[in-house]
């Protein structure tokens, strides 16, 4: 599951970078301006933003690819990175419904689901798996723990 998600994020990173590069070229060649902003600043800002967002998605994809190769859960910082990526996909998906349409929303929600699924696949801790207890379970397993009144 993590490999599929990693591939989806890497493809999405390339698509976002390419889209922003094309948009920057359009703004630059047409000398468009929005609210009196310099067209050169707008095109450079589009290229920088697209590059940074593409690198962010590429990093998320590489984190998932590393987790898949090692067959271990990502570390704390890597999980935070993936959670921010999932939240970002949810927000962009919500905005994309009105701006782009339901197809873009569906694609973003599929990638969101893949990210969340990849995070949940590695959720079980090795100690809980060996003892047969549910993840996060503590206390006695024989039923001899006192019950609250």
pLDDT at 117 (0 to 100) = 93
pLDDT above 60 (res 130)? no
- Other beta carbons within 10 angstroms of residue 108's beta carbon come to 22
Alpha helix segments (H runs only) across 1-149: 2-30, 39-70, 76-99, 102-121, 126-131
What is the average pLDDT across 121-146?
A: 55
What is the average pLDDT across 123-129?
A: 55
pLDDT at 47 (0 to 100) = 94
Q: Is 14 exposed, middle or buried (0-12, 13-18, 19+ CB in 10 A)?
A: middle
Whole-structure pTM value? 0.76
- Other beta carbons within 10 angstroms of residue 49's beta carbon come to 14
pLDDT in tens, 2-31: 899 999 999 999 999 999 999 999 988 887
pLDDT in tens, 92-105: 999 999 989 999 99
* 89: Cα separation from own chain's centroid: 6
Instruction: Spell out the domain ranges in the chain.
Output: 1-28+45-122
pLDDT at 79 (0 to 100) = 94
pLDDT in tens, 34-58: 788 888 888 999 999 999 999 999 9
């Amino acid at each position: 599951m993590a490999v599929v998600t990693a591939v989806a994020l890497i493809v999405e990173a390339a698509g976002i970078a390419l889209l922003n590069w094309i948009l920057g070229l359009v703004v630059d060649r047409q000398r468009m301006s929005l609210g009196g902003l310099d067209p050169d600043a707008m095109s450079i800002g589009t290229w920088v933003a697209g590059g940074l967002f593409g690198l962010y998605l590429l990093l998320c994809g590489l984190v998932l690819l590393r987790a898949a190769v090692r067959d271990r859960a990502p570390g704390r910082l890597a999980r935070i990175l993936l959670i921010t990526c999932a939240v970002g996909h949810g927000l962009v998906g919500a905005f994309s419904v009105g701006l782009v349409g339901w197809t873009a929303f569906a694609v973003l929600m599929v990638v969101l689901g893949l990210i969340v699924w990849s995070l949940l696949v590695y959720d079980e801790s090795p100690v809980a798996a060996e003892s047969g207890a549910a993840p996060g379970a503590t206390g006695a397993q024989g039923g001899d723990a006192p019950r609250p009144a």
